[in-house]
Structure 1
Amino acid sequence: MNAPPLPPDNAAGLRQQVLDWFVRRQRAGWGAADEQAFQQWLQADATHGSAYAQWEQHWSAIDAVPADTIAQLRRNLAHDKAQLSAAQQTPPRAATAPAAPAAAITGLRRRWLLPSLGMAAAVVVASGTSLLAWQHWQAQPVFRQAYASQRGQQLEVQLPDGSQLRLDTATRLEVTYYRDRREVLLHEGQAVFSVQASAQRPFHVLSGPVGITVVGTRFSVRYTPGLAGSDGVRVAVEEGQVRVVRRDGAPGLALAQIADAQTLVAGQQITADAQGSLHPIQPVAAEGIAAWREHRISFVNTPLSQALAEFERYGSTGLTISDPAVAALRLSGTFDPSDTPTLRKLLPHALPVRLQQVAGGLEIRAAR
């Protein structure tokens, strides 16, 4: 559907008036006096005519909605109306224990995005599927693109709204823009996000068990589920602020049952384990939120096996470890991940190890 958007959420009152007039004009009893009142309403404010014309375009686009989608939404509506009827017939409970049906009614109001249940029912009954068309139209992506960087490559991406992404090595993500939000699904790797502010269209990053929400800021997200010792999520903020939540396995951020949440400001970072449990907020390291942008990776008391796996993300080092005691040695320092020859020279000086030529490369062994 290509109809333009209806007035924004801060014009909810105007939207209700538009829907009200639309429904009334579909009734058989509509007469000349009604039409005169409608024309007076149109002339009262320039926004009335444009808003009503936009709604008519949405109504005319109903043929593009799949029949099975309409049928399912109609079934949902019938179920909601039955719940509402039951809630209205249930006697109120004591004031100290609010009745469950009241919560159900509130949920229905939110679901149909209208301030009046009677109005919602009238719209759906009188116009058949107009509201369903609006909801379906809202859920359709306006932009969708997948991006991936190769091993050892960094990739710069400019998005349609002016936001920018920088992907580190071996990173895969998908960007989807909707009319009311922007979403990025980070499958693996790490990226820096420079987000153009838009209060009407928040920017969500979904990364494994964690979701990040921003309006406008610059931050980094790392998610490397296949890397031992680094299989969780790390979020670090350079500018602005972000909200980090555990998603509890929900397919999207908006539908998540949020079990944990933290707000980060510039200079702060947070990590989460593979299940999404958030650790305490920490200051960003001295090298910044993403040293890899300057082709640097840093280790602080990191097991050698884990450090070597990080190097392997950027390219083959030709190094292996078979001795668990050597793998457990701790490495600290800052390195260029693409400079394998320097790594080979430094390792015997930084740790009690030697490099032994074996079939297929070099093995890191304990020093004699």
Structure 2
Amino acid sequence: MSLFEPANTQRLDQDVVEQALQWMVTVQSGVSTEAELLACQHWRAQSAQHELAWQRLTGLNTDIRDSTRMLPAAGARTLLRSRNAPGRRTLLKGFAGLGVMLATGYGVRERVLLPELFSDYRTATGERRQLTLAEGVDLTLDTHTALDTRTTAAGTELFLSLGRVLVSAGDIRLSTANGQVLPAPRSRLVISHNLPWQAGTQVQVLSGSASIKLARGDSFSLDAGQQVTFDSQTDSTPRPVRVGADAWVNGLLIAERMPLGQVIAQLNLYRRGVVRCDPQVAALRVSGSFSIDRPDASLDLLTRVLPIRVQRVFGYWANVVAA
């Protein structure tokens, strides 16, 4: 039976559908690593829903390749014309993504992976959220952020498992898997963890100061205007806070000779869809101010200042390539 009429009509959780889409993009990208392929296999083995979502998606790819008559005429002609073109695989993936949304009845809303689904506070694609805690702490959560509160003998502690948060500190401690951050009273800082373009945890002190204790036990301090990136075992030398470190709070991405690949990775977090950057253009340097609330407009702006173009499929998939 065709995947357009699946034999197993079990409804799939929206987040599982979205995770399957993400893994499909990774596996079919043509540049996936062995570690990514193993991680995909591990994800499929985690639950029956994961495997069912994967089978529906891969089966739908086959249906589309074997049954172009089922596509709109214009879409079928495009596929036939581009049978040997490099972009054909991208177009097929776009049809597959659309087919899954139609076959399951789900729209793709957000990209949130387990265990962040169960966090006390989390944000969806393009969402920013402001919180005020009882301890007098003001927080702004960036898109795709997962934050938990923990009560310990020493008081309330926040745990950031994913994303980025602006902290206007009262009496609070914030931890990640790599260590603990203790802001001084009335300090203001940005803490990020596990971002696509950043390994480990980063702390940027905008005002005041903060003490950092690594998971292995070492401690050090940061003053206003300093930032540092660290994991559970090592830390980098403190550097000046980059320009526009908190611009995302106001819906902006400020780039100062930033690699295009990093710019695209950041815009991808705010866009309801998937944006890929071709490695051939990922190292191009970008300077300027870009809207994260209108990521597609920002992609178009980039094409005016760099020798690149954006290939779009159904408004969901986008691929940034050389012009």
Q: With the length of structure 1 as denominator, give the TM-score of the two structures.
A: 0.50
Q: 1:153 to 1:326 in 2, by over 3 A?
A: same
- Residue of structure 2 equivalent to 1:300: 256
Q: Which residue identity is paired with 1:280?
A: T
Give matches, 1:72-83, under 5 Å.
none
Structure with greater Cα Rg: 1
Q: 1:212·1:242 contact (CA, 8 Å) conserved in 2?
A: yes
**2:226 counterpart (247, 252, 268):** 268
Task: Tell whether 2:239 aligns with 1:239.
Answer: no
In structure 2, the partner of 1:149 is 123
Where 1:309 maps in the other structure, the secondary structure is: helix
State the Cα distance separating 1:232 from its structure 2 match. 1.9
What secondary structure does 1:348 align onto?
helix
User: Residues 319-360 of structure 1, C-alpha deviation per residue, up to 9 Å, x if partnerless?
Assistant: 433x42123333232211121342232222221112345576
CA distance 1:196–1:314, change in 2 (3 Å): same
Deviations 1:164-219 (A, max 9, x none): 2111111111112345333111010111112224xxxxx32111212212342222
Counterpart-to-counterpart distance in 1, 2:269 and 2:311: 23
Q: Tell me which amino acid in the other structure corresponds to 2:200.
A: G
3-state secondary structure, aligned to 1:325: coil
1:268-295 CA-partner distances (Å, limit 9, x unpaired): 22122x44422111222333x4111111
Matched, 1:286 2:254: no
Which of residues 266, 284, 287 in structure 2 aligns to 1:332?
287
The unaligned stretches of length 5 or more in structure 2 are: 1-118
Aligned twin of 1:160:
134
Query: What SS is found at the alignment partner of 2:264?
Result: helix
Structure-to-structure mapping, 1:175-194, within 5 angstroms: 175-194=149-168
Aligned to 2:177: 208
Q: How far does residue 362 in structure 1 lie from its aligned partner after superposition?
A: 4.2
Deviation (angstroms), 1:317: 5.8
> Partner of 1:310: helix, strand, or coil?
helix
RMSD: 2.4
Q: Moved runs in structure 1, 4+ residues, more than 6 A?
A: none
1:354 matches 2:309? yes
Cα distance 1:318–1:181, how it changes in 2: closer, same or farther (>3 A)?
closer
Provide the rounded CA distance (Å) in 2 between the counterparts of 1:189 and 1:358: 27
Gaps of 5+ in 1: 1-144, 198-202, 249-257
Q: Which has the higher strand share?
A: 2
CA contact (8 A) 1:173 1:187 kept: yes
Show the counterpart of 2:188: 218
Instruction: Give distance in 2, aligned partners of 1:354 and 1:159.
Output: 44
Q: In 1, distance between residues paired with 2:120 and 2:317?
A: 36
| Contact 2:215 2:232 (C-alpha < 8 Å) held by counterparts | no
**1:310 corresponding residue in structure 2:** 266
Partner Cα distance (2:192, 2:226) in 1:
14
Aligned pair in 2 of structure 1 residues 155, 352: CA closer, same or farther (>3 Å)?
Answer: same
Change (3 A) 1:149 1:341: closer
Task: Give the partner amino acid of 1:247.
Answer: A
Q: How many Å apart are 1:318 and its aligned residue? A: 5.7
Equivalent-residue separation in structure 2 for 1:178 and 1:364 (angstroms): 47
Q: Is the 8 A contact 1:317 1:340 kept in 2?
A: no
The aligned amino acid for 2:189 is F
> Cα 1:156–1:353, aligned 2, differ >3 Å: closer, same or farther?
same
Contact preservation (8 Å) 1:232, 1:276: no
Bigger proportion of residues as helix: 1
TM-score (norm 2): 0.57
Q: Secondary structure at the match of 2:268?
A: helix
Q: Which shows bigger deviation, 330-339 or 146-155?
A: 330-339
Question: CA shift at 1:158, angstroms?
Answer: 1.6
Q: Deviations 1:199-252 (Å, cap 9, x if unpaired)?
A: xxxx32111212212342222101125x1x31221111233211112213xxxx
CA contact (8 A) 1:166 1:193 kept: yes
What is the total number of aligned residue pairs between the two structures? 203
- TM superposition shift of 1:309: 1.6
